Amino acid sequence: MTHDTTHKLLDTYPKSLGNIDQHKLAECIAACFDCVQTCTTCADACLGEDMVAKLIKCIRTNLDCSDICSATGNILSRHTGYDATVTRSALQACATICMACADECEQHAGMHEHCRICAEACRRCERACKDLLASLE
């Protein structure tokens, strides 16, 4: 789903989304799903590297980040029966794993372009989660 599509869908929501910043929400949803794809691809690329044994932690962190970003993107996409506590918890967890994944990928970024690209996507998602969290307080 594109960023533009996310905005359009939020605009058509039949009930009020409350005081949530719809722009930050759409940005965060897009960043989460971009991070899912990037981390999955990076993990797969790591598996194809000759030095795969040295990338085990990177692969594991990529897959964990992908899973948490996917769950967070899905939670942010649902508003019926909204629970701010769940949303805050998901955003905190997502920001934490994105930071850890970016840190790990940055260790390999000089050797593997896919790790550099992944670190950038994780940092964007981390910022988007923190920006949305800040707007909820």
Give the single-character DSSP code of 15: S
Q: Which residue has the higher pLDDT, 11 or 114?
A: 114
21/37 Cα distance (integer angstroms): 25
Q: What digits encode the pLDDT tens for the residues 40-85?
A: 999 999 999 999 999 999 999 999 999 999 999 999 998 777 788 8
Q: What is the CATH number of the domain that holds 43?
A: 1.20.1270.360
Asked whether residue 33 is assigned to any structural domain, the reply reads yes
Asked whether residue 10 is assigned to any structural domain, the reply reads no
Does residue 14 surpass a pLDDT of 60?
no
Contact 62, 39 (CB under 8 A): yes
- Cα dist from 5 to 12, 34, 77, whole Å: 11, 14, 12
Total number of domains in the chain: 1
Q: What digits encode the pLDDT tens for the residues 18-33?
A: 677 888 999 999 999 9
Name the CA radius of gyration of the chain, rounded: 16
* 36-70 burial: b if 16+ Cβ within 10 Å, else e: bebbbbbbebbeebeeeeebeebbebbbebbebbb
Q: How confident is the model at residue 13 (pLDDT cuts 50, 70, 90)?
A: low
Q: How confident is the model at residue 17 (pLDDT cuts 50, 70, 90)?
A: low
Domain residues for the domain of 87 are 21-136
Asked whether residue 12 is assigned to any structural domain, the reply reads no
What pTM was computed for the model? 0.91
